[in-house]
Amino acid sequence: MNTKLKCLLLDDELPGLTYLKMLCEQIPELEIVKTCNDPEKLLSDFSNLDFDLLISDIEMPGIDGLHLAEKLQDKLVIFCTAYKEYAAEAFNIDAVDYITKPVKLERLQKAIAKALERFEKSDSSKKFIQLNTDKGKTLLYFNKIQYIKTAISDSRDKSVLLTDGSFLNLKNVKFDTLLNELPETDFCRVNKKEIVAVKAIKFFNHNEIVLHHLDENNKNTTLILSETYRSDFLKKVKI
């Protein structure tokens, strides 16, 4: 595999940035394009930079890593931070991985392998599906989906929870139609009324699935894992 990821490194603390660069130089799949200790400067230079992956700290002055990543469109992002509490937010914006400091080479290599896999998949496969909604046609991007459920108002319709927390109402579409279009490794039906994106899962057990998403009561959304779909689901999430 000869693919190299063009990589930006961002950390406002120079010792951390130097250490991260030293680790990345030991990973053959990476080509370091730029190192930076100022997130606002990096954002201003963004349009002039050719890169595939950003490896970034989160808590930084000016603009934090989460908000910066949201502005980088479809670029891959790995977070390296001393703080564990931002993990849910990181995966809600579709981060490739979340590493807590101190960063170790083996852990970083695993994250890079994930990034490379996603990069090669996105480079060669369909990224969205065109569907009818109650407001007209939409391009539903696969990486923006957290889960899909039968709409309460009409069982022929489906309601999609997006990564920004909003819902989209799809008109007159069957689950089988959606499953035929969605990337098979990234989505799984969990019961008669719901499909979940694997990346959206925080915890699961034999009977239920807990998502990173928080509902209006600030509680994690929980889905039932039915017996009919349990075996297929467990195969999808098996490490």
Q: Give the Cα separation of 224 and 207 in Å (integer).
A: 6
pTM of the entire predicted model: 0.53
pLDDT-based confidence at residue 50 (cuts at 50, 70, 90): confident
> pLDDT digits over 145-176, tens only?
999 999 999 999 999 999 988 999 999 999 99
- Inform me whether the pLDDT recorded for 1 exceeds 50: no
- The mean pLDDT value of the chain amounts to 90
